[in-house]
Structure 1
């Protein structure tokens, strides 16, 4: 009797055997007949790719599309997160030249300061005028500027190429998203229906009161997030997978995700070694009888090429790009400060002085608007001003600023919310989009309270935010 046949080993094979109890030789079977679930980070990464890689990835997914299934929670996170991914990428690439200049200016000052420090030492301890003159000749304002200028051009060229290599702009998501129809075609009608609110409430309570305190995966690492529903997103996906796996015909589930946080992966040796938590395999097997496999995106697409379509146009560079993009999406979701949106702006306090810095950067001058920018009762205005000045390049954002997804006005045939006002609420001649916009109520009130000197600049900022970004 081999080790794998022993009753004790069989019962606890998720913990004992390699591949969490599923032999490596069985991997092919998962690609041939498993239910395939793509995590949100895999779908959102489609917005991170350049067009060539995106087309290769979509073509590869077509090879397995008949077995793709979309949990409702993943679908909701996907459609709500598309714009954020594009904005974050566009923002970072758009701000790259300014960031390069800022870093090189710091380098310029540091090099001159280092040279001055050494010259002081030469004078103090050697009184060596010749060495000081030699340093002055080699390292001075002109030579440092010339050297940095060469690097500045090189760095900006790379940043420009990165920006031009991406074809998706924030405005595309609002009007004509080219990725969404492709994703919809892949899944067809293999979509989970919305989960009943009573079921969501029961799962939320189970996660927060039992699973998370006992660190039962997945999702317990998200316990510190803002709203309770934000904390239990991973578990809601997992609960949907358990339900779907407990239906006739599902023998295997292949979950593809770039999420390697501690609530999905167990650390093995303290040196970076990880494996998916055995509890995940054990829970799925006990509750549904199905087997589970979890793969990273690049590994998954390699499997498609190996087992299903050897002719698939996926290169080593493409696998690297797949892992990079999905990992970037997952990392932002795990580590970046929560986005500030219309839903939570009223309860999120801006960092000290940030709204005032945005007020000054925007060229606002009246005392009334300044007081509003400093008032804890006007969070929507504060966060919008912080976000729009960063988005439009009016100021350089701090590295640790949260992403602000807040607009003062939107173009839409449908009123965004009952309290939003039509564009005609703003004065003719001041607001250029009166006939085809809805305006946030807090912005209408702001414009009414602002003095004449700031009223027009505020509306111009809101109007610029509506324009397509280059």
Structure 2
């Protein structure tokens, strides 16, 4: 007997939350069309050489079932360099931070020794004690001790650099990953939609689906252009189109992505599950079943069902990289600080909204605002916070408060690696003798053209003055 209409119509909404233990999961690994999201392919540039080789070998076992939407290919080809540039910045910033902290610690020990010596000279007047202290804590002895730590830390950071065999130059000259990915897919890459179809899909996304929060991709509403905002939806439309071409009776799609935002997953009941609306739509339009998996679960499934040989260290690396795309959700009352910014991705199109409201115009700064990588989140959150604080824009619903400063006014540096305002030219920075500037802000200025440098400096300086004003 056929199920009642209510149960048939809302079948997708009545299913239990999927898990790696589902009995239906095996079928997806055996015969489903496998679609890897752009972020899964770009993650290949973040793995160490050994892990990447194992991952590519594992993908080779499902190569004949891999299919790439045109939009994924476009985003992948265009996004490779930014991944490597982001990792290069992270390691460079870490090295600078370590050196600054060691230098500050070394200076603190010397200053502490001078304090004790002054007290000995004032009260004890025992030359032998002073000589003993000078020998124990001479600058040479302190430098020698700190050299041990410096060398050890440098060795670990160098190991990280050497463990990654790729640089941004590789992408421009002889990218070793691109041809391997191309071989995995062969001719199984979607065709470019014609302009009329593309315009139709963009209009549907921006005018209908996103305002009504119909998944996927509505969290990207407000990005710089409709094309960038609708990237997930364009991929989704291609997936449905391709699923409809599969043989009847075996229309299954396994979609793998690091994106676990609320425009792919329903978290309203405290459990994360793919939106039933997605399962319902692909069934209704293509007669296909859908399963969403993150890379850690997907590669574990390839190992379990297809006997792919992935080392424990490789699984751990896949998990670490995947977690950078899935930061913890913001709770009501959350304050984003310089310490927590890297762990929390900004909501929707907030970075681009802040970019526009600040009056910035360069492609270099815009690229940082659009970046998906944790290394750029501090800059993104600062611009979001400072434009709200200085009333350059209205805050949006659910937007957290940001407590990040690029510069401060005062006689003392907030941290040892902050630099005095005097390092910037007088025409570019005011209050040079009484201000301190965050090290990451110098990196931002270094990547910005002169026109945007002026805007950024003005924002940072005005924020520093605003923060100095007494409250209450």
Shorter-chain TM-score category?
0.5 to 0.7
Q: Distance in 2 between matches of 1:405 and 1:144?
A: 39
- Structure 1 residue 322: deviation in Å? 1.4
For residues 92-111 of structure 1, the C-alpha deviation after alignment (integer angstroms, 9 at most, x for no partner) is: 22332212122445566789
Q: 2:309 aligns with which of 313, 329, 342?
A: 313
- Structure 1 residue 264: deviation in Å? 1.2
What's 2:295 paired with?
297
- Structure 1 residue 326: deviation in Å? 3.8
For residues 254-299 of structure 1, the C-alpha deviation after alignment (integer angstroms, 9 at most, x for no partner) is: 00001111111121445xx412211111111111110000011111
What's 2:156 paired with?
158
Superposed CA RMSD: 4.6
1:228 aligns with 2:223: no
What's 2:215 paired with?
217
Question: SS of the residue aligned with 2:324?
Answer: helix
Q: Distance in 2 between matches of 1:199 and 1:405?
A: 37
Question: SS of the residue aligned with 2:237?
Answer: helix
User: What aligned pairs does 1:358-437 form with structure 2 within 5 A after superposition?
Assistant: 397-398=440-441, 401=444
Q: Call closer, same or farther: CA 1:28–1:175 in 2, change over 3 Å.
A: same
- Structure 1 residue 20: deviation in Å? 5.8
Give 5+ residue unaligned stretches, structure 2. 328-341, 370-378, 387-404, 407-419, 430-437, 452-472
- Structure 1 residue 5: deviation in Å? 5.4
Q: Call closer, same or farther: CA 1:44–1:347 in 2, change over 3 Å.
A: closer
Q: 1:71 aligns with which of 66, 69, 72?
A: 69
Structure 2 contact 364–448 (Cα < 8 Å) conserved: no
Q: Call closer, same or farther: CA 1:13–1:33 in 2, change over 3 Å.
A: same
- Structure 1 residue 35: deviation in Å? 0.8
1:49 aligns with 2:44: no
Question: SS of the residue aligned with 2:273?
Answer: strand
TM-score by length of 2: 0.63
Structure 1 contact 245–290 (Cα < 8 Å) conserved: yes
Structure 1 contact 108–144 (Cα < 8 Å) conserved: yes
How many residues get paired?
A: 357
What's 2:320 paired with?
324
What's 1:391 paired with?
none
What's 1:38 paired with?
36
Q: Distance in 2 between matches of 1:234 and 1:259?
A: 10
Question: SS of the residue aligned with 2:255?
Answer: strand
Q: Distance in 2 between matches of 1:343 and 1:187?
A: 36
User: What aligned pairs does 1:157-306 form with structure 2 within 5 A after superposition?
Assistant: 157-249=155-247, 251-270=251-270, 273-306=271-304
Question: SS of the residue aligned with 1:192?
Answer: coil
Question: SS of the residue aligned with 1:18?
Answer: coil
Structure 1 contact 41–326 (Cα < 8 Å) conserved: no
- Structure 1 residue 207: deviation in Å? 1.3
